[in-house]
Chain A
Amino acid sequence: MRLTIRLLAWTLLAALAVTLFPADAAHAEYPDRPISFIVHTKPGGAIDLTARVVAKVARKYVDVPFVVENRYGGSGAVAMRAVLGGEPDGYMVLAAPATFVSTVQITQSDFGMDDFYFLACLTEAPEALITNRNSDVVTLEDIVADAREKGGRQIWVGPGVGSLDHLMAIKTWDKLGIDATWVPYDGGGAAVAALLGEHGVVYVGNPQDVKGRPDLHIAAVSALERLDRFPDTPTFVEAGYDLPGEIMWRGFAVRKGTPPDVVAYLEDLLYKVSQDEEWLEFVEANSSVAVFYDHEEFTALVDRSGEDSVKYLRMAKILASDEDDAARRIRILSWLMIPAVALLIGIVLAVRRQRPTGVLVVAGLSLGVAVMFFVRAWGFPPPTPGQSVGPATIPLIWSALLAVFAAITVRADMVEHKDVTHGRVMLVLGIIVLMGIFVAALPYVGFFVATVILLAGGIYAIGYRRHVVVLTVTAAVLAFCYIVFIRVLGLPLPIGSLFQ
């Protein structure tokens, strides 16, 4: 029995070693290892599906696998940063939608769109105004008339603040000479629901949004001529408004500085994909338009989007001005609040000749954090004119409440003064240190080595001493994670910068 376990353990370890450290480490011609598409949405988002289909089609023309890596967060800032943080070797390809242009501007990132080399743009979809057939406002004329009547209170819905659709809305108001209110939702689906429920009058999106939703109507589309697929839908140009070519595009980019031969390879590959029957079918099914804009055309498109975006973000007062002196002082002052609260509690304890209990420390820290957040919120910009509630309102309420509850808890604990029973606290602190090492080492030694440290280290620390079992369990967990995450689910776990 013990022999079998031992045998099993060694076999698993050997198998793992072989898969983890492939023999040929020499650099061959590009590409010699999997290429990642970095996507900024969760699995299942529109751009994610696009990237997955491109990956699948590209596989026909290349001998290496493609992996789709979802790095969501920061409206794309996280994904862009991931690509810029990698080597410019062409193994990390960014799936870039039009919204990235305004993301970079709004989040005041320390990088810009010109840090990327744009390979090719593969799809585009015209922007459109969509209305609810069952409401009183259906056509473009209705929208203009209703907006004039409501004098700025007409509600437009769409995904996000400063998103491409929001910019389109601002631009449209400008060209139509009307005023309206933008109510941002978390994603297109929620905004469509709001339009269907008549919580808004106009939804800004793309023609494909009406597919399968018979209650929706496209009031106008931004295109030079009527679309083949929607011959009854008027364009803005027909109606006499100068909005000929507002589009949502999706393309691919790499970090600038990628070698020319690698870039040429990828450009050629994307061209082949753009002509592939399977790709065209997918684009067709999603009712967007398959295009191929090469590096030059795509870069010009991105530049144009960038200029437009700055202009209209300023118009909507979304692009914040730089932090002023008062705001900076408040920010610095806020950090002093935590030590100040600690000092205050310390003084009270000294006067009462008490030692702090654990509850008091937790409540005291909460109080410090609450005061810090409270002070900081005073540096937030005021509400938009005409609104009573702004970015600071809710944080001020919660932080004030937290401060009150935490202060009462501190006070109650001083009166009660009872500490909890301690268990094996040192052991727990040891495990926490071990977890800290795991997290710190993860980027360098990769998931598998770091796991051995945490797992085997943790088991021994707790006091387990049957070495063979420890080895078996470690190998089994590693094998499990490898098979499930990397092989089956295709979720790439970090291999570690030391081994790359």
Chain B
Amino acid sequence: MEVLQNLLEGFATLVGSGLAGVSWWEPSVVIVAGIMIGIFVGVMPGLSASTGVALMVPFTYGMHPLIALILLAAVYTASAYGGCITAIAINTPGTPAAVALAYDGYALTKRGEPGRALGTALIANCTGGILGTFILILFSVPLARAALAFGPPEYFALAVFGLTIVVSMASKNMLKGAVSTVLGLLLMTIGLDPITGFMRYTFNRPELIDGISFIPALIGLFAVGEVLLNIERMDAVKAALQTFSSKMPGRKEVLALKRSILQSSALGTVIGVVPGAGATIAAFIAYNEAKRVSRKSEEFGSGSLEGIAAPAAAAGGSVGGALVPLLTLGIPGSAATAVLIGALMLHGVTPGPELFAGKNSYLVYGLFASLVLGNFALLVLGVMGNKLWVKIISAPKALLYPAILVIAFVGSYGVANSMFDVLICLIFGILGWILRRYGFPTAPLVLALILGYMAESNFRRALIMGDPSIFITSPVSAVILALAVLSFAMPFIRARRARRKAADA
């Protein structure tokens, strides 16, 4: 209960003027500003949570350390939701974690109900964020210990488990899904070999030494590919008639989602704890789990609210999860928290377990309190913002599509100030159009791009450390691999059962 008392003190610090030299209104203003910046960062393709946080660091130089921390944490919190907005509105995930949500979210937008999808994502994301914060407060020490048990064999198993999700994503055409998955895995072997440093398939381009840059490829596959397909299929008369509603989901609809939101928030937080695995895998696994247990699993992929709520809640929860290793071990749980560590150091605060006990413990509890308040602020600002997003996508398509292309290219350039990345975005854009056109699913390709490197580097690391039996002798790895086999086989078994049922009837 001491923890809760500390948390209350944290709230008091934020709401009253508990800090020397800080006005009473400053924390609230900073939270609201941070949330708005974060939403924007998430919406812009190419600006990820980590870039957004890093770009805010110089603004915090003169601030009180807690205020700086609150600002950066608010940006981080809100960027998760920002990424969902573009995924729903224009099928262009603003952050990798939002890829899983583009399926059902965009399907609803095509039906003219973006407001319902955005509202569901927002509520799920904020619930995930708040639950994640409480899990962070209550269980950070045991969770951190569990995360440390993750060595190379366990990471490899997790990557394999993540990859098995493609089976349920590509259920419409397994063969084409397999082609795009393996194509993604093969493309991911481009670059410096993770163990020996040999340059594989770099074709003498220095830009390829670190492999294909993921964000420009993602922007190309989704934003550019989607716009091209839409331009091809555009029907001027139909487009003029289509209207988008910003109506939020009803209370009953939201309450029906409580199970998948709670389950996904917890999953997101726990997977977010594992350093490096992060929000993206959490979102995919949550989507898959929600689909597995859902009574209406056939709706997934065509506008299921559960299919939106699950990844959004997981993305929200993963923020709290990623802060666990940062606060308890002093190691980053994600790219964005790595920047957070740098920023804290700039302010003379060293993240790690000593933070809880020392004179700086008010920072930790102030941060916890600000995460809770930040999610409420996000909820309010998000509802206001949704009307704006719906208005933007209601603009004439002839204006909207070229503008999306421009933003996609700026975003790709902005990732590393690299012309080569713009080229990558163009190439993957054309690839995305062609793949969609001929019914090859693009999400498995993206998942393979995300997990391919993680799978190979940890497989190789594990084999340097011991013999191949290490994958089975490690209990954690064995359990995850068993789950992977189940998750891989499940859709096949279900399909067979359904066929038999159909044959009987």
Which of A's residues lie within 8 Å of B, judged by CB? 42-46, 48-49, 52-53, 56, 69-75, 77-78, 81, 106-109, 155, 161-162, 181, 183-187, 189-190, 192-194, 196-199, 211-214, 282, 285-286, 318, 320, 358-359, 362-363, 366, 369-370, 373, 376-377, 380-381, 384, 387-391, 394-395, 398-399, 401-402, 405-406, 408-409, 412, 420, 422-425, 427-428, 431-432, 435-436, 438-439, 442-443, 447, 451, 454-459, 462-464, 469-470, 473, 477, 481, 484-485, 489-494
**How far does the alpha carbon of A438 sit from the alpha carbon of B193 in the complex, in Å?**
33
Is A462's CB under 8 angstroms from B433's CB? no
Give me 12 other A-B pairs in contact (C-beta within 8 A), A44-B338, A381-B196 excluded.
Answer: A42-B50, A75-B192, A189-B338, A196-B148, A196-B331, A197-B148, A197-B150, A199-B465, A358-B434, A401-B182, A464-B396, A490-B58
Interface residues of B in 160-185 (CB under 8 A from A): 175-176, 178-179, 182-183, 185
6 contacts between A and B (CB under 8 A): A78-B418, A193-B331, A398-B189, A464-B396, A464-B399, A491-B414
- Which residues does chain B contribute within 8 Å of A406, judged by CB atoms? 179
Considering only CB atoms, which chain A residue lies closest to B150 in the complex? A197
**How far does the alpha carbon of A491 sit from the alpha carbon of B183 in the complex, in Å?**
33
- Which residues does chain A contribute within 8 Å of B147, judged by CB atoms? 193, 197
**How far does the alpha carbon of A75 sit from the alpha carbon of B54 in the complex, in Å?**
20
For the complex of A and B, list the 5 residue pairs with the smallest distance between their C-beta atoms, beginning with the closest: A212-B352, A43-B54, A458-B402, A44-B339, A212-B350
Q: Given A212-B351, A423-B232, decide whether A469 and B179 contact each other with a Cβ distance below 8 A.
A: no
- Which residues does chain B contribute within 8 Å of A286, judged by CB atoms? 345
**Nearest Cβ distance between residue A43 and chain B, in whole angstroms?**
3
Considering only CB atoms, which chain A residue lies closest to B185 in the complex? A398
**How far does the alpha carbon of A396 sit from the alpha carbon of B396 in the complex, in Å?**
48
| Chain A CB within 8 A of B248 CB | no
Which among B53, B207, B232, B410 is the interface contact of A78 at CB below 8 angstroms?
B207
Interface residues of B in 330-344 (CB under 8 A from A): 330-332, 335, 338-339, 341-343
Interface residues of B in 59-98 (CB under 8 A from A): 61
Query: Interface-forming stretch among B13-21, B258-266, B295-303, B437-445?
Result: B437-445
**Interface residues of B, dominant DSSP:** helix
- Which residues does chain A contribute within 8 Å of B465, judged by CB atoms? 155, 181, 183, 199
| Chain A CB within 8 A of B497 CB | no
- Which residues does chain A contribute within 8 Å of B1, judged by CB atoms? none
**Nearest Cβ distance between residue B413 and chain A, in whole angstroms?**
7
| Chain A CB within 8 A of B491 CB | no
**Nearest Cβ distance between residue B469 and chain A, in whole angstroms?**
13
**How far does the alpha carbon of A285 sit from the alpha carbon of B51 in the complex, in Å?**
23
Is B200's CB under 8 angstroms from A193's CB? no
- Which residues does chain A contribute within 8 Å of B413, judged by CB atoms? 442, 447, 493-494
- Which residues does chain A contribute within 8 Å of B112, judged by CB atoms? none
- Which residues does chain A contribute within 8 Å of B403, judged by CB atoms? 455, 473, 477
**How far does the alpha carbon of A109 sit from the alpha carbon of B196 in the complex, in Å?**
17
Which among B58, B183, B185, B234 is the interface contact of A52 at CB below 8 angstroms?
B58
**Interface residues of A, dominant DSSP:** helix
| Chain A CB within 8 A of B110 CB | no
Is B275's CB under 8 angstroms from A193's CB? yes
Which among A43, A184, A214, A402 is the interface contact of B195 at CB below 8 angstroms?
A184
- Which residues does chain B contribute within 8 Å of A389, judged by CB atoms? 459-460, 463
Considering only CB atoms, which chain A residue lies closest to B411 in the complex? A485
- Which residues does chain B contribute within 8 Å of A187, judged by CB atoms? 338
Which among A56, A194, A199, A359 is the interface contact of B61 at CB below 8 angstroms?
A56
Interface residues of B in 439-492 (CB under 8 A from A): 439-440, 456-457, 459-461, 463-465
Which among B55, B182, B398 is the interface contact of A398 at CB below 8 angstroms?
B182
**How far does the alpha carbon of A489 sit from the alpha carbon of B208 in the complex, in Å?**
27
Is B416's CB under 8 angstroms from A402's CB? no
Is A43's CB under 8 angstroms from B55's CB? yes
Q: Given A447-B413, A459-B398, decide whether A394 and B196 contact each other with a Cβ distance below 8 A.
A: no
Which among B276, B353, B409 is the interface contact of A214 at CB below 8 angstroms?
B353
Q: Given A192-B331, A477-B403, decide whether A491 and B210 contact each other with a Cβ distance below 8 A.
A: no
- Which residues does chain B contribute within 8 Å of A380, judged by CB atoms? 198, 200
Is B50's CB under 8 angstroms from A43's CB? yes
**Nearest Cβ distance between residue A387 and chain B, in whole angstroms?**
7
Considering only CB atoms, which chain B residue lies closest to A188 in the complex? B331
Which among B234, B339, B437 is the interface contact of A462 at CB below 8 angstroms?
B234
Query: Interface-forming stretch among B285-293, B307-315, B367-375, B423-431?
Result: B423-431
**Nearest Cβ distance between residue B411 and chain A, in whole angstroms?**
9
Interface residues of B in 18-50 (CB under 8 A from A): 44, 47, 50
- Which residues does chain A contribute within 8 Å of B175, judged by CB atoms? 405, 408-409, 412
Q: Given A73-B416, A464-B398, decide whether A402 and B231 contact each other with a Cβ distance below 8 A.
A: no
**How far does the alpha carbon of A77 sit from the alpha carbon of B205 in the complex, in Å?**
10
Is B464's CB under 8 angstroms from A181's CB? yes
Considering only CB atoms, which chain B residue lies closest to A424 in the complex? B232
| Chain A CB within 8 A of B206 CB | yes
- Which residues does chain A contribute within 8 Å of B240, judged by CB atoms? none
| Chain A CB within 8 A of B137 CB | no
Q: Given A424-B231, A494-B413, decide whether A370 and B275 contact each other with a Cβ distance below 8 A.
A: no
Is B463's CB under 8 angstroms from A387's CB? yes
Considering only CB atoms, which chain B residue lies closest to A317 in the complex? B196
Considering only CB atoms, which chain B residue lies closest to A45 in the complex? B342
Is B179's CB under 8 angstroms from A402's CB? yes
Interface centre among B176, B329, B426, B440 (most CB of A within 10 A): B329
Considering only CB atoms, which chain B residue lies closest to A182 in the complex? B464
**How far does the alpha carbon of A52 sit from the alpha carbon of B339 in the complex, in Å?**
13
- Which residues does chain A contribute within 8 Å of B197, judged by CB atoms? 106, 161-162, 318
Is A428's CB under 8 angstroms from B352's CB? no
- Which residues does chain A contribute within 8 Å of B176, judged by CB atoms? 409
